[in-house]
């Protein structure tokens, strides 16, 4: 990709990411009662000034449900990304620097988690416990900890092998400062941004997927982009807006988060080179 295209991609995906963040925050404070929203006078209306994206099969405003639907993945996605990056970063720094039985045990545990097929594991978890979306997000974040930890560990080991860490201890820095500030914060941030964005997209994917399937995830009448798309099964061609809008939102949001993470990380890595 040329610089020009990647700049454009960064701007577009960045705009979507910012928009999703803003909408996600706004949705947290808007009151919405799905029962109140039902209106049998305005079933399946096309877009209009009153309903920008029309109404669904129960006369509910599609845009409102789209906005409110972000609640299902917004905080869970942030939480999942944060868990992966924070725990993965710490685990990577620790296993890259320390030695001894605790380190070996942690490396073994990370390897074990890394062998789990993530999606299968989450679906299995659903069939056993039917967990809430936030819990699924926590699990998803944990499942990505080994990925982050491995890359951070390699970075730490590379710097340790050229005596970087020892030289800075000799100079008077504490290992914590060297590992957390010098290595994680200043040198690993592109990787961490990429992984956090990826896990956010992953949580959105899992949430909407489960909610679409219907047995797990967010249940009607509460809105989720996933259960909104699921209306396609009942509408039978009667109207496209109620499921098309969330479907597009899902694809665009996931694609934007992945692209944004990658492009920011690539730019960051170039700048650090």
Q: Which residue ranges make up the site for other proteins (CB under 8 A)?
A: 162-164, 166-167, 169-173, 182, 186-187, 272-273
In angstroms, what is the minimal distance from the CB of 81 to other proteins?
Answer: 23
**Residue 215 CB, nearest distance to other proteins (Å)?**
49
- Cα–Cα–Cα angle for 2, 270, 199, rounded to 5 degrees: 90
CA separation, residue 4 to residues 130, 238, 269 (Å): 46, 42, 17
Residue 221 C-beta: closest distance to other proteins, Å: 51
* CB closer to other proteins, 32 vs 164: 164
**Toward other proteins, which CB reaches closer, 163 or 215?**
163
Residue with Cβ nearer other proteins (52 or 173)? 173
Taking the C-alpha atoms of residue 205 and residue 14, their distance in angstroms, rounded to an integer, is 19
Least CB distance to other proteins at residue 175 (A): 12
Between 132 and 174, CB nearer to other proteins:
174
Q: Which is nearer to other proteins, 166 or 248 (CB)?
A: 166
The span from the first CA to the last CA of the chain, in angstroms, equals 19
Cα-based torsion angle of the residue sequence 181, 265, 192, 210 in order, rounded to the nearest 10 degrees: 170
Assign 3-class secondary structure to 29-44: HCCCCHHHHCCCCCCC
Contact between 268 and 189 (Cβ < 8 Å): yes
């Amino acid at each position: 990709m040329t610089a020009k295209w990647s700049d454009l991609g960064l701007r577009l995906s960045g705009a979507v990411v910012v928009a999703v963040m803003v909408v996600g925050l706004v949705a947290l404070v808007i009151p919405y009662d799905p029962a109140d929203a039902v209106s049998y006078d305005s079933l399946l209306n096309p877009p209009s000034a009153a309903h920008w994206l029309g109404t669904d099969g129960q006369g509910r405003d599609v845009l409102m449900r789209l906005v409110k639907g972000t609640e299902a993945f917004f905080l869970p996605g942030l939480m999942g990304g944060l868990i992966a990056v924070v725990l993965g970063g710490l685990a990577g720094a620790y296993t890259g620097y320390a030695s001894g039985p605790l380190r070996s045990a942690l490396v073994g545990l990370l390897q074990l988690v890394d062998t789990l097929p993530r999606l299968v594991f989450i679906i299995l978890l659903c069939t056993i416990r039917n967990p809430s979306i936030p819990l699924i997000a926590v699990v998803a974040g944990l499942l990505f900890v080994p990925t982050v930890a491995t890359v951070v560990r390699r970075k730490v080991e590379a710097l340790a092998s050229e005596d970087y860490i020892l030289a800075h201890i000799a100079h008077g820095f504490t290992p914590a400062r060297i590992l957390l500030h010098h290595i994680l914060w200043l040198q690993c941030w592109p990787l961490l941004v990429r992984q956090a964005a990826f896990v956010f997209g992953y949580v959105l994917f899992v949430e909407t997927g489960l909610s679409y399937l219907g047995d797990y995830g967010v249940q009607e009448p509460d809105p989720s982009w996933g259960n909104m798309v699921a209306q396609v099964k009942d509408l039978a061609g009667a109207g496209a807006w109620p499921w098309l809008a969330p479907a597009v939102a899902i694809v665009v949001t996931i694609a934007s988060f992945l692209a944004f993470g990658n492009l920011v990380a690539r730019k960051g890595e170039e700048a650090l080179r």
